[in-house]
Chains A and B, each alone.
Chain A
Amino acid sequence: MRLMIAAATLLVIFVCVPLPAVYSALDQPQPLPSGAEQPKAATPETQKPVLKQALMSERVENLTPVRPGFAFSVSSGQVCCFTSFDPVPQATVIYHRWFRRDELSTQTRLRLYPPKWSTYSVIQLRETDKGPWRVEVIDQNGQIFQVLRFSITD
């Protein structure tokens, strides 16, 4: 059932579906790009999830980002924003807001479930998408966890 949902997700442009975390994969965290802005720590009072990892990659396979980077060729067809939260105190919602330059291109609503959760959003690339992009990872109150910056190139 999970595989079916994941397959359906990849077929939809600008849509991302929350996936249950694969704990074994997340137990071995991906290296965080030094250019990425550091996540903010959540306070116990607010019961906010903590962003453990966020990066851009060409693909996500088995909830593992493949070919992370800062510049992605349009010929690769897609680009993913992968985020991993640990801990997630309670079920909540986050957003991935995709901006091309300063214009909001798309926004994806993603669910997080306790105790920890990994999720990603993906966009399909077109020739007209070339240029500098950023993805803001924000909570339901608009609080920014992290901003990821990258470029879509030839």
Chain B
Amino acid sequence: MTRTLAFLSSIRWQDIVDILINSYILLRVYILFQGTNAFRVLVGITSLWILQEIAASIGLILTSWAIRGITAAAAIIIIVVFRNEIRAALQVRNLKTFLWGFPNREQTTPVEVITESVFQMAKRRMGALLVFPGKEDLGEVIHGGISWNGTVSQEMLMSVFWNQSPVHDGAAIIRGHEVAEVGVLLPLSQRQDLPSYYGTRHRAAVGLAERADALVVVVSEERGRVSVARDNSLKPVVDKEELSYLIKKHLNYPDINPAKQRERERVKLIVAAGLSLMIMTGIWFGFTRSQDTIVGLSVPIEYINRPLNYEILETSVDEAKLQLFGSSAIIKSLKPGQVGVRLDLSKAAEGRNTFTINQDDIMLPPGVSLNKIQPATIEVTLDVPATKELPVQVDWVGKLPENRALADVSVSPETIKVTGGSKTLEKVSTVYTAPVRLDGLSKSGSISSPIVLSPPSLRISSTSPDRVTIHYTLQEKPPAR
């Protein structure tokens, strides 16, 4: 009980917002893509990813690699293959619809007009092929077609399928209240079990129904019969009522049973919302709360808000060793800039200041917790800036030839002005040149050399040069007695 309470108290409001936002994103993805092939493939990819994680966790190295490769390839393929569906799902009129609304794919189709027209055509022995797309995109399976975009009417349909019409042999696509396309070529079914009296028109109807979730109404030219093809089946329709029912059922027409339909949609949405929340909560806990990994990091200490009149003279450490824990996924994805120790010097005074590092001084990404820090305290010595004129000395290195001696050395300028902390400068009485090698010297001359300041917190004053000229005199070394 105590553990549960402690756990609940450790959840921040940001965590709850985090889960809710991502749950909503998942729900929106479901709402926008539901019923599409892309969504089904997305579910497949997610299943593959879960399988890969399971395979990795139980040590199936090759399997996990293979599934990972397939998942990565499938993710790219889904974008290429289902680009039309993705575009259709994301093509909304405004941002509000994208973020909040529901895509209204089904527009009210004048079913009664269509059924009346179909049976009129059947009576007159006019062949016809009407396609009512479902949720799947037909772009990949149908060909040809002429854009029509005419409002559905009996006259319109009759004229399209009139046998003198140039487009009467193709199918008409009905979307909402419009005849969207005419003269469309459908894929033919390769089934051998279809009755021999079924001609090309029937085979085309079955062919499309096999490949997509569309409903195809076919009117036989020879026998004047109406049939409906859907999901591998071709069913004869005897009257207008039956055809009307089938079309409305296919289009999820609310007037089949509006209340029941709405209720079903609501339940579906609530279940989807609940599942999204559960999935995201699970993922969030998996990512942030498993806390199964501990890592040690050396992090540079940042000193911020230093009083302007002081300089940092000395710090007891430059890096802090942090021991962090969290889920392996988060710990593995840690980047150097995400973790830091920032010490606020705004209240520091001149001289030595001791700071105890606490949680507020440590910058951690969400989901990562601090286990230990070393050292727990840091000493920072602040100093007042000052300028000091210091003599320059040459830092000779190497070795002169055996018979040569360095008889005289002078430096120009002899002194330079150095700025830095006054306490630092107190300890410095000479500045040195960069190392100057003796090995190459064979006769007297001059060399230019930069000044090297130590400690590095010191700076050469703007009025002094950062290089000096060394004049040296070499002479024969007197022989040793």
Residues of chain A touching chain B, judged by Cβ–Cβ distance below 8 Å, are 33-35, 61, 66-71, 73, 99, 101-102, 130-132, 134, 147, 149, 151, 153-154
Determine which of B395, B398, B427, B477 lies in contact with A131 in the assembled complex, contact meaning CB atoms within 8 Å: B395
Within 8 A of A (CB), among B453-481: 454, 477-478, 480-481
Known A101-B430, A131-B395; judge A35-B410 contact (CB<8 A). yes
Q: Nearest chain B CB to A103's CB is how many angstroms away? A: 9
- In the bound complex, residues from chain B placing their C-beta under 8 Å from that of A61 are 481
- In the bound complex, residues from chain A placing their C-beta under 8 Å from that of B408 are 33-35, 70
- In the bound complex, residues from chain B placing their C-beta under 8 Å from that of A147 are 391
- In the bound complex, residues from chain A placing their C-beta under 8 Å from that of B398 are 153-154
Complex Cα–Cα for A153 and B439 (A)? 11
Chain B 386-428 near chain A by CB (<8 Å), digits 1 or 0:
0000010111111110000111111100000000000000011
Complex Cα–Cα for A35 and B393 (A)? 10
Complex Cα–Cα for A82 and B316 (A)? 41
Size of the B side of the interface (Cβ < 8 Å), in residues, is: 27
B394 and A132 contact, CB distance less than 8 A: yes
B409 and A35 contact, CB distance less than 8 A: yes
A69 and B430 contact, CB distance less than 8 A: no
Mostly, the A contact residues are strand
Does B192 reach chain A (CB closer than 8 Å)?
A: no
Does B256 reach chain A (CB closer than 8 Å)?
A: no
A73 and B399 contact, CB distance less than 8 A: yes
Does B82 reach chain A (CB closer than 8 Å)?
A: no
- In the bound complex, residues from chain B placing their C-beta under 8 Å from that of A130 are 397
A151 and B394 contact, CB distance less than 8 A: yes
Most buried by A among B394, B406, B481: B406
B406 and A71 contact, CB distance less than 8 A: yes
B432 and A101 contact, CB distance less than 8 A: yes
Which residue in chain B gives the minimum CB-CB distance to A136?
A: B429
Chain B 71-110 near chain A by CB (<8 Å), digits 1 or 0:
0000000000000000000000000000000000000000
Complex Cα–Cα for A131 and B433 (A)? 11
Most buried by A among B393, B411, B428: B393
Chain A to chain B contacts (Cβ below 8 Å), 9 pairs: A33-B407, A34-B408, A35-B411, A68-B407, A71-B400, A71-B406, A134-B430, A147-B391, A154-B397
